[in-house]
Amino acid sequence: MRTDDDSWDITESVGATALGVAAIRAYETSREDALFRDPYAAKLVGAVGSEGWNALMTGALSGQGVSDADLRGWSMGSVLVARTLYFDEYFADALRAGIRQIVILAAGLDARAYRLEWPSGTRIFELDQPKVLAFKARALAGDEPAADRREVAIDLRQDWPKALLDKGFELGEPTAWLAEGLLRYLPGHAQDQLLEKVVELSAPGSRMALNLSMDGDMADEFRERRRKVMAEAGIHIDLENLFYPWEDRKDPRDWFAMHRWLVTQGDPVTLLEDHGRTVPDAAKAGMGAHILMTATKPRGDDTL
């Protein structure tokens, strides 16, 4: 059960979801037809030193009930691949527009600071809970980030803007923000507060990218089967008890539009198909329940 001030290490509670998505990135990276390569994902998951987590990222859990087809068909796995492509392109576009200040909210085991190309002078702030960032630092010790990477170890329900400013965030400089795989772990009021702060800290020309799964993105039967197989391997991720309800929150597309930011949306299925990946029908319905969006704060001379 969640509480307003709960905290976690990498294998616990919400922390384990960071490992879960990294395991899917490692699995995608290992495919011959991989749509992206994140060589850090396997290193990060491997640093847990657990057979269960290793089996998940290599797809070896397939033999125990989650088939390869399931892994591909499971809408969340497909969404994860789509959203990686979408947010990678979002950052490339922000860099082309001259943005050099990046803030990754709930960075978890996101290795973009290491694996993407960043122009010199780019600052990347990564925010997450202290134990999650400490695990990442241990696992990637010896690896050099490709930008000026700054850790901000803080709970995003606390005064994270102060912590960010203390680490050198420049007010007045356009920022590209990312909240990937975060919002459902916050109750609706905390989502509102977080987005309000993003708006307040954003100079004109700043951008925000986020994803959010609405309800019904996975068939109950498959959810149950997957939970059982993973639990037997010692992996406990119970999204239903980690997520806060969809109904208690505002749709961020409407929220940013109301704040007069320019909103654009991505479609995960089209994105994958445009990259030549066949999306199983079983995954399509769930993927349709997933919001991928960006929003841009207009400069004074932009028209809405």
Ligand X SMILES: C[S@@+](CC[C@H](N)C(=O)[O-])C[C@H]1O[C@@H](n2cnc3c(N)ncnc32)[C@H](O)[C@@H]1O
Residue closest to ligand X when measured from CB atoms: 108
Smallest distance, Å, CB 181 to ligand X? 3
| Structural tokens at position 114 | 């290491």
Q: Please identify which residue in 48, 57, 79, 109 interacts with ligand X, judged by CB under 6 A.
A: 109
Tell whether residue 128 is a contact of ligand X (CB under 6 A): yes
Give the span between the Cα atoms of 69 and 137, in whole angstroms: 34
* Least Å from the CB of residue 147 to ligand X: 17
Kindly tell me which of 15 and 252 has the beta carbon lying closer to ligand X: 15
Q: Does 21 bind ligand X (CB under 6 A)?
A: yes
Sole binder of ligand X in the list 157, 167, 253, 259 (CB under 6 A): 157
| DSSP per-residue string spanning the chain | ---TT----TTSHHHHHHHHHHHHHHHHHHSTT-SS--HHHHHHHHTT--HHHHHHHHTGGGGGT--HHHHHHSHHHHHHHHHHHHHHHHHHHHHHTT--EEEEET-TT--HHHHS---TT-EEEEEE-HHHHHHHHHHTTTPPPSSEEEEEE--TTS-HHHHHHHTT--TTS-EEEEE-S-GGGS-HHHHHHHHHHHHHHPPTT-EEEEEEE-S--S-HHHHHHHHHHHHHTT----HHHHSPPSTTS--HHHHHHHTTPEEEEE-HHHHHHHTTPPPPHHHHHHHHTEEEEEEEPPPTT---
The reply on whether position 70 binds ligand X by CB under 6 A is no
**By CB under 6 A, what part of segment 77-106 binds ligand X?**
106
Report the residue number, 14 or 199, with the smaller CB distance to ligand X: 14
Q: 71: closest CA among 24, 32, 30? A: 24
For residue 202, give the DSSP letter: P
Judged by CB under 6 A, which of 18, 23, 237, 293 binds ligand X?
A: 18
Q: Which of 89, 93, 155, 173 binds ligand X (CB under 6 A)?
A: 155
Q: Please, which residue, 61 or 132, has the CB nearer to ligand X?
A: 132
How many residues belong to the site for ligand X (CB under 6 A)? 20
107 belongs to the binding site for ligand X (CB under 6 A): yes
Least Cβ distance, residue 164 to ligand X (angstroms): 12
Per CB under 6 A, the list member of 24, 81, 139, 156 interacting with ligand X is 156
Q: State the Cα–Cα distance between residues 113 and 3, nearest whole angstrom.
A: 31
Is residue 46 a contact partner of residue 65, using CB atoms and an 8 Å limit? no
Residue among 91, 118, 185, 255 that touches ligand X (CB under 6 A):
185
Helix ranges, 8-102 (H): 13-30, 39-46, 51-58, 68-73, 75-96
**Residue 279 in the binding site for ligand X (CB under 6 A):** no
Is residue 40 a contact point for ligand X (CB under 6 A)? Answer: no
Q: Which region among 15-23, 64-72, 260-268, 282-290 touches ligand X (by CB under 6 A)?
A: 15-23
Q: Does 180 bind ligand X (CB under 6 A)?
A: yes
Nearer to ligand X, 196 or 302 (CB): 196
Looking at beta carbons only, is 39 or 204 nearer to ligand X?
39
Smallest gap from Cβ 215 to ligand X, in A, equals: 17
**Residue placing its CB nearer to ligand X in the complex, 59 or 108:** 108
Residues that bind ligand X (CB under 6 A): 14-15, 17-18, 21, 106-110, 128-129, 132, 155-157, 180-182, 185
